[in-house]
Structure 1
Amino acid sequence: MEIAKVTSKGQITIPIDIRKKLNLKDGDKVIFIEEGDKIIFANAAKVAFMNIQKAFEGEAERLGLKNEQDVVDMVNEIREEMWKERYENND
């Protein structure tokens, strides 16, 4: 367990061990999540990434993406389609 003191401005210094565990660097943002009578403190970027992962869960299978090359191929196809829409049909 780590303890931090709150200043008169409401600031705290996050102990180094906690910063390391959360992979926090200078300028990173943190998030406070209320869960019942507890407040959870977390790295905001990690929470956002986890939410994105959850939102995309099952999408790779639905799109037939089995490996990294499938993703690269799909991105290339989309880029080609976008290029055609923008430049080939502009006579």
Structure 2
Amino acid sequence: MSTTAFVNDSKVMSKGQVTIPKNVRTALGINTGDRVTFIVDGSNVRVVNSAVYALMKFQEQMKGAAKDAGILSEEDVANWITASRREEEK
């Protein structure tokens, strides 16, 4: 995602549809068929890539879970993955 700040506007059509300007889609990593999430905070609205937003929310919910499970290093992650794969093969 781009860290460049800019302002752009778009007209609301009769059915409430808005075209997201190309430079905004590019900055958000949004492509044809992607979904966007509108986050309303008072009179402000943020438009975010839904996939990125879902991942951010998941990361917030899982914060500390690895530490609680004793996964503290990349080696611990690799061992957990190996063990999980072996369980799936059973």
Q: How many residues align?
A: 84
Q: Please, what TM-score do these two structures have when normalized by structure 1?
A: 0.77
Q: Please, what TM-score do these two structures have when normalized by structure 2?
A: 0.77
- Alignment root-mean-square deviation, CA: 1.7
- Counterpart in 2 of 1:65? 71
- Counterpart in 1 of 2:28? 22
Partner of 2:59, secondary structure, is helix
The CA deviation string for residues 4-31 of structure 1, in whole angstroms up to 9 with x for no partner, is 0122222221111111111101111011
Q: Matched residues, percent identical? A: 37
Higher relative contact order at CA 8 Å, sep ≥6: structure 1 or structure 2? 2
Q: Work out which of the two has the higher radius of gyration on C-alpha atoms and give 1 or 2.
A: 1
CA shift for structure 1 position 82? 4.3
- Counterpart in 1 of 2:87? 81
Single out whichever of 3-12 and 47-56 deviates more from structure 2. Answer: 3-12
Partner of 1:60, secondary structure, is helix
Which of 25, 42, 51 is the equivalent residue of 2:48?
42
Superposition pairs of residues 6-17 of structure 1, within 5 angstroms: 6-17=12-23
Distance 2:73 2:63 in 1: 15
**Structure 1: runs of 5+ lacking an equivalent:** 85-91
- Counterpart in 2 of 1:89? none
**Structure 2: runs of 5+ lacking an equivalent:** 1-6
The CA deviation string for residues 28-49 of structure 1, in whole angstroms up to 9 with x for no partner, is 1011112122222111111100
